Amino acid sequence: MEEIRIVPTGEEYVEGFHAAVDVVARERRYLALVEAPPLEASRAFARAVQADGGVHLVAVAPGDRVVGWCDVHRSPREGFRHVGHLGMGLLPGYRGRGLGRRLMEAAIARAWEAGLERIELEVFASNSPARALYEKLGFVTEGVRRRARKLDGRYDDNVFMALLRE
């Protein structure tokens, strides 16, 4: 198996991150987006997450190809600065190989180091593999927004999960 590195999202990886988001978004199954935002918006997001004490990591395959990401952005609101919101994705050929777990474990560890005390995420109910991974890592379901998304004529529930720092 090829060696995949997990590294902070530096400027050299922003275009790869953007491209990976676009691939996953266009699958129309896993993200709230159906296409990536403009490149400069992706660049601004990665910079802002890191500048505000959050975590933004990418999984990099040989040849410096970004094949996945995981970010935990800190809440900007007073009284909620101890909370981060997690987002992640992997290119189709890299799923089911333990890479998502590696990305999440690295992001969670860095989030705790940055002083976060709670990490939240939202996942579509239909995304069973992701939900199982989150549960293995200790995330607990806190609520469900029923029929939250209607895309291509199909409804999907939005599951809210969280992990508390022990």
Dig out the tokens for 135 from the structure: 């549960």
> Whole-angstrom Cα distance, residue 166 to residue 163?
9
Could you report the per-residue pLDDT of 3-48, keeping only the tens digit for each?
Answer: 999 999 999 999 999 999 999 999 999 999 999 999 999 999 999 9
Q: What is the CATH number of domain 5-120?
A: 3.40.630.30
Q: How far is CA 47 from CA 31, 59, 67, 137, in A?
A: 21, 17, 19, 27
Q: Is the pLDDT of residue 1 over 80?
A: no
Q: Scanning the structure block, which residue is given the tokens 């909370």?
A: 83
CB atoms within 10 A of CB 12: 12
Residue 88's pLDDT is what?
A: 98
pLDDT in tens, 80-120: 999 999 999 999 999 999 999 999 999 999 999 999 999 99
C-alpha dist (Å) from residue 4 to 48, 106, 128, 132: 25, 13, 24, 22
In whole angstroms, give the CA distance from residue 5 to residue 103: 10
Q: What is the pLDDT of residue 166?
A: 84
pTM value? 0.95
